[in-house]
Structure 1
Amino acid sequence: MENPAKEIPGVIHLLTQSPPSIQRETIETYFTQDASFTHPFCRTGSFDNSRFLIRAIYRWYKILSPKIELTINSVAYDEPNLLLYVNITQVFGIWVIPFHRARVNLTTVLALRRNRGDEKYYIQSQNDLYQTDEFVKFVLPPSWMFVWLWQFWATFFCFLGAFALWPISYAEQWVWDEGESRKSRSKVEGRKGQRVGDVLDDIELKDLERKALVNKPSR
């Protein structure tokens, strides 16, 4: 890729919505040979020719869901660190499970590597990030409701814990405030000491000048 932020939407559509031959060609064109792939359900690692595992993952992905609806919501490019952040919404339906259609949202983080030979950018790693209630939809679409219930229940316990153990937070804040107060006093005392020193230096300098005038020999 010469312009990663502009070209990556097209690359993703080719990876997910093209026939096997074009999908394979896309992976070999845009991924490095030792590229890695990370997903909640699978991981390749990075080694010589690990790219062939990425080909297998994408092939199985299309076998499970031959028709995938996919929308690129946003693309952000961290150019200094060669990172692409792509937010995606896709509809995934497993053909062997009747009426299975999972609408999921994810953020894909793509680490790039620049080839000094052709000055193009290639995908070094792909990391698909899903919220828990999103990736469980692949297995059982209604299961996201149970995840939500668990998350709300956990939030309720966070509230109870924060309310019951508020003295710990109070003590932590008190220790921090005392430390900041000591730092402020030290700075003030340091500035006062510097001003006193400057005044003494000025008095001493004037005293030396006065003595020099008094002891100056007359002509």
Structure 2
Amino acid sequence: MENPVEEIPHVIHLLTQTSPSLQRSTISTYFTQRASFTHPFCRTGSWQHSRFLIWAIYRWYKILSPKIELHVNSVVFDESNLLLYVQLHQLFRIWFIPFYRAPVNLVTVLKLMRDKDGKYYIDSQNDLYQVDEFVKFITLPGGWVFVWVLQFLATAFCLIGAVLLWPVSAWEEFVGVGVEKTKQDMHLKD
């Protein structure tokens, strides 16, 4: 890629909505040979020819859900760290489960590598889903409600713990835990 921000939506559509041969060609064109892939359900690691496993993951993805609806909402490029952040929405349907739909939002973090000609290649892909999003893949409709209930319960426990154990916070404040570090950080910002 010469311009990752402009080109990545097209690359994502090629990976998720094209024929097997074009999908494989896309992986060969845009991923390094040692590229890694991380997802809540699978990972490849990075080793010589690991992009073969990336091809297998994308193939299985398309076999399970032959007609993926996908929209790239935003792309941000952190050029100094060669990180491309892509926020997208997809509608995943498993063809052999009637009425199954998993509308999910995710952020994909792509670590890029730049060659001597100035072109960018994907060196790693990390798909980040909130728990209530990736649980949609594996539960019956409404499974995300269970996750939300657990998350709100955990938040309630945080509140109770913070209120009941306020003496710990008072002690940290009294002895100045982190005060010197905070002063240093504030000084650097000035």
Classify the secondary structure of the residue corresponding to 1:42: coil
Query: Deviation digits for residues 153-207 of structure 1, max 9, x if unmatched?
Result: 1111111111111111111112228x67xx9xxxxxxxxxxxxxxxxxxxxxxxx
- Aligned residue number for residue 5 of structure 1: 5
What is the CA distance between 1:119 and its match in structure 2?
2.2
- Aligned residue number for residue 118 of structure 2: 119
- Aligned residue number for residue 153 of structure 1: 153
Query: Deviation digits for residues 113-168 of structure 1, max 9, x if unmatched?
Result: 1111x321100000000000000101123210100000001111111111111111
User: RMSD between aligned alpha carbons?
Assistant: 1.3
> Within 2, Cα distance between the matches of 1:119 and 1:79?
12
Instruction: Output the amino acid matched with 1:61.
Output: Y
Instruction: Output the amino acid matched with 1:128.
Output: D
- Aligned residue number for residue 68 of structure 1: 68
- Aligned residue number for residue 34 of structure 1: 34
Query: Deviation digits for residues 54-102 of structure 1, max 9, x if unmatched?
Result: 0000000000000001010110000011100000100001111110000
> Within 2, Cα distance between the matches of 1:113 and 1:71?
25
- Aligned residue number for residue 136 of structure 2: 137
- Aligned residue number for residue 164 of structure 1: 164
> Within 1, Cα distance between the matches of 2:173 and 2:70?
48
Classify the secondary structure of the residue corresponding to 1:127: strand
Greater relative contact order (CA < 8 Å, ≥ 6 in sequence): 2
Instruction: Output the amino acid matched with 2:88.
Output: I
Matched residue count: 179
User: Deviating runs (4+, > 6 A) in structure 1?
Assistant: none
Percent identity, aligned pairs only, is 69
Classify the secondary structure of the residue corresponding to 1:10: helix
Instruction: Output the amino acid matched with 2:46.
Output: S
- Aligned residue number for residue 127 of structure 2: 128
Classify the secondary structure of the residue corresponding to 1:88: strand
> Within 1, Cα distance between the matches of 2:113 and 2:159?
44
> Within 1, Cα distance between the matches of 2:51 and 2:159?
46
Consecutive unaligned residues in structure 1, runs of 5 or more: 184-219
- Aligned residue number for residue 188 of structure 2: none
* Structure ranking higher in helix proportion: 1
Instruction: Output the amino acid matched with 1:125.
Output: S
Classify the secondary structure of the residue corresponding to 1:36: strand
> Structure 2 matches for 1:177-216, cutoff 5 A?
none
Instruction: Output the amino acid matched with 2:125.
Output: Q
> Within 2, Cα distance between the matches of 1:18 and 1:49?
22
- Aligned residue number for residue 51 of structure 1: 51
